[in-house]
Structure 1
Amino acid sequence: MTDKVLEQVEALGERLAATAADSEALGRLSDDSVALIREAGVMRLLQPADFGGYAAHPRVFAETVMAVAQRCGSTGWVCGVGGVHPWEMALMDRRLQQEVWGEDPDTWIASPYAAQGVATPVDGGYRLRGRWGFSSGTDHCDWIFLGATLGDADGRPAEPRTTLHVVLPRADYEIVEDTWDVIGLCGTGSKDILVEDAFVPVYRTVDAQAMSEGSQAAVAGRDETLYRLPFWAMFPLGITAAVIGIAEGALAVHLAYQRDRTTMTGVRITEDPYTLSAISEAAAEIAASRTQLLDGIERLYDLADAGTTITFADRAVTRRNQIRCAWRAVAAVDDIFARSGGNAVRRSNPVQRFWRDAHTGLQHAIHTPGLVYHATALTTMGIEPQPRQRIMI
């Protein structure tokens, strides 16, 4: 069934591409785009089978996100981010899963995970306050994951810092309109979220560290290999898959445009060895990015499937390579754009939208190389990284 989701996306490809301009103009996914994603079943790929999902191999999920992003970067981005949320929901309390999916297995869940709120303990749960940015696809979601710092009795972040992922229904938070005015990924509608004072029962929360280490599956009673993977392998996978898909989309429209193009000096592009060489190099870099991203998640999956502990070193190398995949792919898009001539900047030429979307996707914190690169280099030398260097690994 999971391969059929990818096949369905490919079959709907032209229709998905046709929604891109509308989504960009609206500043959120168009209703047509959402309907096509629901029809294909993309958001249910990582959803557990007992709640109507497909519990697919994460490689299939990444390939499907790429296929969507090739047609519309914003739709691919929302699938890459939002498509991971059912995976985490599978690791939450079964009562919460029933609340979210019991009546409608097609319910979508938003985020973000940045700890931009404070959860103060009270009887039975927490009081949550905060404001979060970058909630991709949020207009189409009925629940949301939010990152929060555990608070003290006065509502201030407690020391040492503990981070929770908390889940709220749509009635408990506000989507702040007019907070997504950007140059790329415009159609993702990644607006701000405001929570004034919401009660969150304990069963709608999870410790972020347990999720990061991949130990939450045992707590949740999930023995499927998929759910024994660490959070910082799964969440980046969807985001980087979207960026690589965008790069593949840029290459496809570039090739279609260059096929019949003649330069102002009268040289046909198909006879220009310099441009053809640049196209091939860019295509090879994008292909390498795809291969390395998929190889990384397959390696971790195989370790989990064999019952082998996934170490910090395993996670670090996968994260390092995942970040490099994104930077390599976007650099290739730059090479493509530089060879597309003056007409590339016209709104009517989709290559400029893919170029803007690729760079905007690279801005996500998950693609910041510094600490991850440092931690991975130290780990491969046999040196234990400091706690602050282990963030998001």
Structure 2
Amino acid sequence: MRHSRLERARHRPRRVSRGRVSRRAELLERARQLAPKLAARAAADPWARRVEPDVIDELRGADLMTIGQPSANGGQELDWITYLEVNAALAEGCPSTAWHSCVGNAHAWLVGHWPDECQAEIYGDGPDVYVAGVLVDRGDATPVDGGWRLSGFWPFGSGIDHAGWVILGGHFPSPDGDGQVSGMFVLPASDVSALDDWHANGLRATGSSSIVVDEVFVPEHRFVAGEVLASGDTPGMARNTGWIQRSSLMPTLAYALVPPALGAARASLAAFAEEVDGKVISHVDVLQTDWPLTHRQFAEAHALVDQGELLMRRTAELLMETALNGESLELPLRARVRLDCAYAVRRCLEATQSIYLATGGRGVRDSNRIGRLQADLQAINMHAITALDPALEAYGRILMGHPPRTPRL
């Protein structure tokens, strides 16, 4: 949706204020202080399947769970660079904890698009509400008086153990009988069930259990159609007038999942430097830190991580610039953002894979941190919204003048 010049002028200046930059530095320092504690917890219990509630409480106490949350809902309504740097710092300690933070922050931003009545229900008792969810259209809704009856099964419900509210994708028959209406429903967590079925190699502690709903009533004010969300002209825009709420929907949700990859890759670089210190390479009889091949491998890994970070920052700056100007991203840029996010997390994975192989036999141990970080990065790269091949295909089709096969741009 494009806005008039007058509307654009209302939302300038284009730069992030000094106050926000100062707040960014403050929150980043808090995240950095938490990271060693998170790393120690992860090392003590590498098979943990969920983040403990006291960790979520620590994130809240440090004001790290409301970065993108609208100020009308008690949030800080900061910017996407702050979001990147803080969550990447958390991921240097524990990627699963950072994933929780990203999901919670992203969904707090997302529900800012719902009608006032829904937002008031969610945040009526205060801003510290964790909103989990699975946004993919997997639910079946039946229209009834005043709303819908929703049923369905949604796997990968990250953070459901800590949720007060849940966003779930679903559909119902179009009123005119022609096709279906797809969108997202918001429910209190007490209306859903979580299965104890999360057993994963990567992002193991995200507790991403499947969510089940059986014939639960959802009132009209807790549903927004997908087309409305994608348009940028949503019911929540009157309540939440800050520029961050005008960030384009799908590009923002794709970007929301990339910071843990950056932090995990940085942590793998640091772990590798410790791993090879004093190590003698078998059958070569030379210190690994003195071996020219190690120098090349380490430099290349750093370069790959830098490439990933640059792509992430380019995305953040694009989202911020267009939102500050009151504009929406056109289709080619939306597809490029999706590809940038996919390539960013792939570069982080490639960096970690290369140095993991260079650790030698000791890398196969369960206790090896680079191996665990590699598994986390593989999981991030396997997420539908950060998968590389679909992103390449979508952008390539657009560049060649063809419509994309996916609506998720």
TM-score with structure 2 length normalisation?
Answer: 0.89
Which residue identity is paired with 1:88? Answer: L
Distance in 2, Cα, partners of 1:169 & 1:218: 19
Instruction: Decide whether aligned partners of structure 1 residues 99 and 374 sit closer, same or farther in structure 2, where only a CA change above 3 A counts.
Output: same
- Residue in 2 that maps onto 1:227: 245
Distance in 2, Cα, partners of 1:210 & 1:56: 24
Helix, strand or coil for the counterpart of 1:112? Answer: strand
- Residue in 2 that maps onto 1:133: 155
Instruction: Decide whether aligned partners of structure 1 residues 375 and 184 sit closer, same or farther in structure 2, where only a CA change above 3 A counts.
Output: closer
Distance in 2, Cα, partners of 1:104 & 1:73: 27
Distance in 1, Cα, partners of 2:327 & 2:199: 45
Mapped pair 1:116 → 2:138? yes
Mapped pair 1:211 → 2:229? yes
Instruction: Decide whether aligned partners of structure 1 residues 24 and 105 sit closer, same or farther in structure 2, where only a CA change above 3 A counts.
Output: farther
Number of equivalent positions = 385
- Deviation string for 1:267-288 (max 9, x for gaps)? 1111011011111101110111
Which residue identity is paired with 2:220? Answer: V
**CA drift at 1:223:** 2.6
**CA drift at 1:152:** 6.7
More displaced stretch, 229-238 vs 271-280: 229-238
Any unmatched runs of 5+ in structure 1? none
Instruction: Decide whether aligned partners of structure 1 residues 220 and 184 sit closer, same or farther in structure 2, where only a CA change above 3 A counts.
Output: same
Mapped pair 1:189 → 2:213? no
- Residue in 1 that maps onto 2:16: none
Distance in 2, Cα, partners of 1:257 & 1:293: 28
Instruction: Decide whether aligned partners of structure 1 residues 230 and 236 sit closer, same or farther in structure 2, where only a CA change above 3 A counts.
Output: same
- Residue in 2 that maps onto 1:83: 105
- Identify the match of residue 274 of structure 2 among 234, 256, 274: 256
- Identify the match of residue 200 of structure 1 among 204, 218, 236: 218
- Residue in 1 that maps onto 2:297: 278
- Residue in 2 that maps onto 1:31: 53
More displaced stretch, 244-253 vs 141-150: 244-253
Distance in 1, Cα, partners of 2:326 & 2:127: 30
- Identify the match of residue 42 of structure 1 among 64, 71, 77: 64
Instruction: Decide whether aligned partners of structure 1 residues 152 and 378 sit closer, same or farther in structure 2, where only a CA change above 3 A counts.
Output: closer
- Identify the match of residue 58 of structure 1 among 71, 76, 80: 80
- Residue in 2 that maps onto 1:241: 259
- Deviation string for 1:145-175 (max 9, x for gaps)? 101022479xxxx752331111110211101
Instruction: Decide whether aligned partners of structure 1 residues 254 and 213 sit closer, same or farther in structure 2, where only a CA change above 3 A counts.
Output: farther
- Identify the match of residue 309 of structure 2 among 271, 290, 296: 290
Distance in 2, Cα, partners of 1:291 & 1:326: 11
- Residue in 1 that maps onto 2:12: none
Distance in 1, Cα, partners of 2:335 & 2:231: 12
- Residue in 1 that maps onto 2:8: none
- Residue in 2 that maps onto 1:333: 352
Deviation beyond 6 Å, 4+ runs, structure 1: none
Instruction: Decide whether aligned partners of structure 1 residues 307 and 287 sit closer, same or farther in structure 2, where only a CA change above 3 A counts.
Output: same
- Residue in 2 that maps onto 1:312: 331
Distance in 1, Cα, partners of 2:280 & 2:180: 60
**CA drift at 1:366:** 0.7
Distance in 1, Cα, partners of 2:72 & 2:240: 11
- Deviation string for 1:246-275 (max 9, x for gaps)? 112111211221223222243111101101
- Residue in 2 that maps onto 1:74: 96
**CA drift at 1:82:** 2.1
Mapped pair 1:392 → 2:408? yes
Instruction: Decide whether aligned partners of structure 1 residues 308 and 114 sit closer, same or farther in structure 2, where only a CA change above 3 A counts.
Output: closer
**CA drift at 1:217:** 6.8
Distance in 2, Cα, partners of 1:198 & 1:215: 28
- Deviation string for 1:27-76 (max 9, x for gaps)? 10023422322222221101111222110101211221111111101111
Distance in 2, Cα, partners of 1:367 & 1:199: 33
Which residue identity is paired with 2:170? Answer: A
Distance in 2, Cα, partners of 1:211 & 1:69: 29
Q: Percent identity among equivalent residues?
A: 28
Contact 2:248 2:328 (8 Å CA) reproduced: no
- Residue in 1 that maps onto 2:15: none
Which residue identity is paired with 1:172? Answer: D
**CA drift at 1:142:** 1.1
Any unmatched runs of 5+ in structure 2? 1-22
- Identify the match of residue 363 of structure 1 among 368, 371, 382: 382
Contact 2:43 2:367 (8 Å CA) reproduced: no
Distance in 1, Cα, partners of 2:89 & 2:124: 29
**CA drift at 1:221:** 4.2
Give the alignment's Cα RMSD to 1 decimal. 1.9
Contact 2:170 2:182 (8 Å CA) reproduced: yes
Instruction: Decide whether aligned partners of structure 1 residues 167 and 308 sit closer, same or farther in structure 2, where only a CA change above 3 A counts.
Output: closer
Contact 1:148 1:164 (8 Å CA) reproduced: yes
**CA drift at 1:377:** 2.1
Distance in 1, Cα, partners of 2:115 & 2:314: 31
Contact 1:79 1:238 (8 Å CA) reproduced: no
- Identify the match of residue 176 of structure 1 among 195, 210, 226: 195
TM-score with structure 1 length normalisation?
Answer: 0.93
